[in-house]
Structure 1
Amino acid sequence: MTETPSTIAGIRVPDSTMAKAATELVRDTETDLLYHHSRRVFLFGALTGDRKKLRYDPELLYIGAMFHDMGLIDSYASETERFEVDGANAARDFLKSYDVSERDVDDVWDSIALHTTPGIPQHKRPTVALVTAGVEMDVLGIAYDDFTKDQREEVCKCHPRGLKFKHGILSAFCYGTIKKPETTMGNVKADVLEKMDPTYQRWNFVDTILNSKWES
């Protein structure tokens, strides 16, 4: 693996014992696409925090970013939980080996569990808000023009998107949820399965209310 710079687009990548262990674990577990995506999520999240002058813990942000898609990997996927929860649980288990406060562990857990639930993370503490901001930038292009061209290019030079990232990340989302479609209820992954799985039947909130066992 080519050594990446310790500072990218002005952001210093955490290099503590805990951060290095997280990097090694994710690098050995995830696909290249998900690994580089997770690193970009950290960098775009940190750049967002700097731009908004937020006080955030880079190491906690790094752990949240690196683990946010671990639930898409078979070895970390449960049979019934949302992949976001599986990733959050993996991060929590990892953090138990280090001297991390319960509040900080909870923030990392929330940052992963909520990263596909729009409208909530930006109102939470910085670790939570910035993981989602990084995801939204890298996957959806939200706030794209708030980053300079040099920032975008340097991040992607160190952690390439590749020519087919858009389709690749959709395939990863589909693979991680297609065996448990019920976990897409109420979150954005329902859109993925509706597009990519012809057998998927989308859950409808209104129908569930009207068809419940209540008489009225």
Structure 2
Amino acid sequence: QSEFKRAKSHIEKIECDKKVVIPGNHDARNVGYLGFEEIFGHRSIIEKCGEITIVGIDSTQPDLDDGHVGREKYGWIEKSLNSNDFKVVALHHHLISIPKTGRERQIPMDAGDVLELLVRCGVDLVLCGHKHVPWIWNLNGMIIANAGTACTNRVKWNIPQSFNVIEIDEEEKGTIKIYRMYSRGGQELVLEKKRDRAAK
């Protein structure tokens, strides 16, 4: 629980009005999900910021590294994404394999069903992590941005520590820029894209 409290103190230093915090696989170990709920609240959450809807989904399973969203959440996800907003979904586990990560074993067990659901709901951006390797996929106009790791030395090969900063131009309702920020210093623009799907 002390680790959750330390994590919360770091998160509180981030200056923004809305924050979506979701658990990772290590957070769910040894009934850690109970500590997460005590410190951060619900493990799945929805936030709105103007015309942007952000849905945070718990993809963890206690004591297992493999991900699983779960059919019982599908209805809630679909209802949460039923708007013409720019739609963002965040979950810990990546839904598509990431290059340079070795044998793939930890994609959510229901990744195919979740991808179909998110595409059908007109999701614009999916945020995920887990493998500590930054990568971006474009699936039928839906951007899937996998973050690296900003604060652990458990990196692959010589891939530097990093995190993403994402800008969404609300006035144009969907011009998106993703910057990769390197912990050692420096940054690069890795994606600039206009929303090319009809609002749903």
Q: Shared topology, TM-score over 0.5?
A: no
TM-score (norm 2): 0.25
Q: Which has a greater percent of helix?
A: 1
Which of the two has greater strand per residue?
2
State the structure with more CA Rg.
Answer: 1
**Taking structure 1 as the reference length, what is the TM-score of the superposition?**
0.24
